[in-house]
Amino acid sequence: MNKIFHATAGMGHKLQAQALVAKDGFSARYDLDRIKGVFSRPEHKLAGESYVGKVLVLDAAKGGVATAWMLYEMQSRGVMPAALVLNAVNPIMVQGVALADFTMISGFDCDITQAIPNGATVEIDPSGGRPFIRVL
């Protein structure tokens, strides 16, 4: 496919991994079993799916200040997604991603959850002036 989608903001490291995509939000506190590494909220579209090592392509960040320390705690135990790709973020999510030294990009001119196929291998490069996700 080799299609590129540019984001308005990005932070973290360049990487390549498999995408896990859903038109749903992301809360480290309410959506995840942070011990088992799976989406645990029954109503979440990815319920039961492992997020470990995957690029999560989701709609928007949800939740409050607990997300910051939860992302850091997940990173310290190695039970972490590879990256977050979101249509919209909030300042708390940005703080959590920075604290965890994690990769995230957001802000697209399309609904990124509709543009990236679930299961696709993607490359993310948040550095430079134009952060992007590329479907390989």
Buried-state track 63-91, b at ≥16 Cβ within 10 A, e below 16: beeebbebbbebbeeebbbbbbbbbebbe
Residue 45 neighbours by CB distance under 10 Å? 15
Whether the per-residue pLDDT at 133 is higher than 90: the answer is: yes
Write down the pTM of the prediction.
0.96
What is d(CA 120, CA 46) in angstroms, rounded to the nearest whole number? 15
**CA–CA distances in Å: residue 120 to residues 49, 65, 85, 106, 132:** 15, 31, 13, 18, 15
Q: Residue 127's CB: how many other CB atoms inside 10 A?
A: 14
In 3-state terms, what secondary structure has residue 74?
Answer: helix
pLDDT category of residue 32 using cuts at 50, 70 and 90: very high
Asked if residue 103 lies in contact with residue 11, where contact means CB atoms within 8 angstroms, the answer is yes
Q: 69 pLDDT band (50/70/90 cuts)?
A: confident
